[in-house]
Amino acid sequence: MQTGRAVGIAIAVFVALVLTVCGCLCAGGLLLDESSSDPFAEEPWRTPDDWAGPTMGPLIPEEPNGQPTTVAPAPTKQPITRPTSGPAPVTVVYEVTGTGTADIAYFDAESDLMHVDDAKLPWRATIRTNGKSRVMVEATWPDIDYHGPLDCTVTVTDAGRPVVDKGRGYWRTTCAAG
């Protein structure tokens, strides 16, 4: 009988220890959660700038004042095919070939980077410039679908022999001469 009583006491002590440990862990977890300074756990859309309070306007728009708001159109820069100063002794021909359309970036005669989105292929541009230091064309497929090879060619002609750089890629290709 003594062994049965000892087993019962051992089980009671074990259960008490388990409940004590679990209770401490649960209470500790609640205390840790209360003192947590991580705002992203509860409101992941807030940034540190929002902690002081919202800074946006009212959720319901105000009454219109009768005057339409006009937004000036964004200026679009046209590529410069001949520099504004100097003799422009260098002719550059950019070419991109493939099927469909591609996003193209290239340097114009003033060394400004130009972007042509969804350019129909084959694509070609000719400029006259003062030097070969900023001559580059890059073409990228506008989506991740396989379109086949994408080829580029840069031909630079000045007083000497023409310089030609060719490239081929299957997602992006770049050609430069300099």
> Which numeric CATH code is attached to 90-176?
2.60.40
Q: Is the pLDDT of residue 94 over 70?
A: yes
The confidence score (pLDDT) of residue 126 equals 94
Residue closest to 137 by CA, chosen among 98, 85, 83, 86: 98
pLDDT in tens, 107-160: 998 889 999 999 999 999 999 988 777 899 999 998 877 778 999 999 999 877
Which residues on neighbouring strands pair with residue 173, listed in sequence order? Answer: 139
Identity of the highest mean pLDDT range in 49-58, 137-146, 166-175: 166-175
- Six-digit token string for 147: 């379109």
Model's pTM, two decimal places?
Answer: 0.54
pLDDT in tens, 56-67: 444 444 455 555
Residue closest to 158 by CA, chosen among 125, 121, 133, 124: 133
The Cα 94–Cα 110 span in angstroms is: 15
The Cα 12–Cα 20 span in angstroms is: 12
- Six-digit token string for 44: 């992941």
